[in-house]
Amino acid sequence: MKLAGAVTEGSGAVNEDGYGFAGPPDDVHAAWVFDGVTGINGGSRLGAASDAAWLVARAEAHLAELAVLDRPLDHILSALVERLMADWASGTANTALPSDYDPPAACLILAKRYVSGWKALRLGDSCLLARWPGGSHRIFAASPNNAFDHWLAEEAGKRRDGSVPDMKALLAEFRPRLLAARAMRNKPGGYSVLECSEASLLMPEYTDLGHPEDILLCTDGYYRAVDHYGLFDDQALLDASSASAEKVLAALRAAEAADPDCRRFPRFKPADDATALMLISNNGEQR
């Protein structure tokens, strides 16, 4: 498959998303998207703009080396986690972390081509849309943490009824609940996510895609164009992203800018980092 386009843009001073691919743009054989989990520690302790940005940068560097290897996805994930654990040990060796420190984490979507077809790995709530010849499509967009996300949006909306508190105030108020939710990472009844821990290996989602015509990898911030703002359905998002992911992002940002207090479209954050990578059929690729 070939790269039709890719885009990434932060919603604030730090973009905690990331993406990459292996192979030349006209013959991509692996692609991935990261979505760093917004920190609630009140500052960075790992020498980067944020701890989530540190994790994404380290994971991107490692995956660029690992994704080219002819190994199953679970082996690639194991090697990635092993490297991240070493990074964490080195990065925190001389750092005293508070008892309620929230460790960095990130969502990950990785798609890789094998002899038998494309396969995908998913950790967290980022999205993968795939379409096969004939127009059928498949989506992986449901988050195991949707109920909590909806609760956050509703509670934040109540506080915005009288005023418009900034994100720092909301994060401070909801921090105990956020910590409790994040304690369920990679645990039964919780949700999967990539972190510097072997726990990342407990709940990954693997999918056999076969030989799709199109593949879209995107963060939930980009998928807001569908599930929050109703600018597209899944089919239209694939079409629009194939034509120009930049234009999709521009439409997304326009919708957010038109609703800065989150009243028309209830959500916890007025905007989110947004990243997408679109692959389309290469006529020379064997099916």
Alpha-carbon distances of 205 from 39, 148, 172, 194, rounded to whole Å: 24, 20, 32, 12
* Average pLDDT in the chain: 88
Is the pLDDT higher at 97 or at 247?
Answer: 247
- Categorise residue 201: left if φ over 0, alpha if ψ from -120 to 50, beta otherwise: alpha
Tell me the average pLDDT across 108-137: 92
pTM: 0.89
Q: Which residues contact 265 (CB under 8 A, 6 or more apart)?
A: 228, 229, 255, 259
Going by pLDDT thresholds of 50, 70 and 90, the confidence category of residue 140 is low
98-102, 199-203, 273-277: least confident range: 98-102
DSSP letter (8 states) at residue 99: T
Tell me the average pLDDT across 259-286: 85
Q: Which amino acid would we find at residue 132? A: W
Going by pLDDT thresholds of 50, 70 and 90, the confidence category of residue 144 is very low
Gyration radius (Cα) of the chain, Å: 19
* C-alpha span between 206 and 122 (Å, rounded): 6
* Tokens at 194, concatenated: 């990539």
Going by pLDDT thresholds of 50, 70 and 90, the confidence category of residue 212 is very high
pLDDT at 31 over 60: yes
Per-residue pLDDT tens over the stretch 35-70: 999 877 777 888 899 999 999 999 999 999 999 999
Per-residue pLDDT tens over the stretch 167-176: 667 666 777 7
What is the predicted pLDDT for the residue at 162? 55
Dihedral sign (CA 147, 153, 157, 159): positive
Per-residue pLDDT tens over the stretch 219-241: 999 999 998 899 999 999 999 99
Is the pLDDT higher at 129 or at 269?
Answer: 129
* C-alpha span between 122 and 154 (Å, rounded): 27
* Tokens at 160, concatenated: 């915005």
Going by pLDDT thresholds of 50, 70 and 90, the confidence category of residue 163 is low
* Tokens at 210, concatenated: 């076969």
* C-alpha span between 35 and 17 (Å, rounded): 4
Q: Which residues contact 7 (CB under 8 A, 6 or more apart)?
A: 222, 245, 246, 248, 249, 274, 275, 276
Tell me the average pLDDT across 238-252: 97
What is the predicted pLDDT for the residue at 101? 87
